[in-house]
Chains A and B, each alone.
Chain A
Amino acid sequence: MSLPGDDVLFLPVTELSARIKSRHLSPVDLTEGYLARIAKLGPRLNAFARVTPERARAAARAAETEISRGRYRGPLHGIPYGAKDLFATAGIPTEWGTTACAGQMFDRDATVVRKLSEAGAVLLGKLAMVEFAGGLGYRFANASSSGPGRNPWNTERWTGGSSSGSGAAVGGGLVPFALGTETWGSILCPSAFCGVTGVRPTYGRVSRAGAMACSWTFDKVGPLCRSAADCRTVLETIAGADPDDPTAADEPARLPRARRDWAKLRGAIIPLDFTKAGEPEVRDVFERTLGELRGAGLTMESATLPEFPASELAGLIITAEALSSFETFYRDGRVKRLKDVYAPWQPDINAAMTGADLVKAWRMRTVLQHKMAEFFERYDYIVTPNFMSVAPPIEQDLYQALPYSDPVGAVGNACGLPAIALPCGFGKERMPVGFQFVAAPWDEALLLDLGELWQTRTRFHSERPPLS
Chain B
Amino acid sequence: MKGGRGTRDATAKRATRRSFLKLVAAGSAAIMTGAVVPLARAAAAPAKRGRASVPPAVKAEIANQKAYLTRTLKVIREYDLPSGSDPAFVFRPLRARRRR
Contact = CB atoms under 8 A, between A and B. Distances in A.
25 contacts: A130-B26, A134-B24, A138-B28, A161-B24, A183-B27, A184-B23, A214-B27, A218-B27, A273-B5, A307-B1, A311-B15, A311-B22, A312-B2, A318-B27, A342-B58, A342-B62, A342-B65, A349-B29, A349-B65, A357-B77, A360-B76, A360-B79, A364-B81, A405-B5, A407-B1
B16 A272 contact: no
A225 B16 CA distance: 30
Contacts of A336: 47-48
Interface residues of B, number: 56
Interface string A311-339: 11111101101110000000000001011
Interface in A136-177: 136-140, 142, 160-163
Contacts of A181: 26
A303 interface: no
A367 B26 contact: no
Interface in B30-86: 30-32, 34-35, 37, 40, 42-48, 58, 61-62, 65-66, 69-70, 72-73, 75-77, 79, 81-82, 85-86
B76 A139 contact: no
B29 A350 contact: yes
Given A134-B24, A319-B27, A399-B40, 6 more contacts: A137-B25, A138-B21, A163-B26, A185-B25, A352-B73, A404-B5
A375 to B, nearest CB: 14
A322 B72 contact: no
Contacts of B10: none
Nearest to B55: A341
B26 A183 contact: yes
Given A185-B24, A341-B44, A349-B62, A405 B69 contact: no
Contacts of B22: 184-185, 311, 314-315, 318, 406, 410
Contact of B26 (A162, A359, A400): A162
A85 interface: no
B85 to A, nearest CB: 5
B87 interface: yes
A4 to B, nearest CB: 33
A392 to B, nearest CB: 10
Interface residues of A, number: 81
A412 to B, nearest CB: 11
B27 A364 contact: no
A365 B88 CA distance: 7
Contact of A140 (B29, B43, B77, B88): B43
Interface in A382-433: 397-400, 402-407, 409-410, 413
A184 B29 contact: no
A79 interface: no
A189 interface: yes
A184 B25 CA distance: 7
Nearest to B78: A309
B69 A272 contact: no
Nearest to B32: A399
Given A138-B30, A160-B24, A214-B27, A349 B75 contact: no
A360 B77 contact: yes
Contacts of B62: 342, 345, 348-349
Given A185-B23, A309-B2, A398-B21, A405 B43 contact: no
A162 B16 CA distance: 19
A52 interface: no
A359 B44 contact: no
A189 B69 contact: no
A161 B82 CA distance: 37
A163 B24 CA distance: 9
B75 A135 contact: no
B16 A404 contact: yes
Contacts of B79: 309, 360, 364
Which of B28, B45, B79, B89 has the most C-beta atoms of chain A within 10 angstroms of its own C-beta?
A: B28
A319 B29 contact: yes
A367 B83 CA distance: 12
Contacts of B28: 134-138, 315, 318-319, 322
Contact of A161 (B25, B40, B48, B65): B25
Contacts of B81: 360, 363-364, 367
Contacts of A319: 27-29
B26 A214 contact: yes
A214 B45 CA distance: 25
B77 A405 contact: no
Contacts of A402: 20-21, 23-24
Contacts of A339: 47
Contact of B27 (A184, A273, A308, A397): A184
A335 to B, nearest CB: 9
Contact of B76 (A313, A338, A340): A313
B19 A311 contact: yes
Contacts of A322: 27-29
Contact of B17 (A186, A310, A321, A399): A399
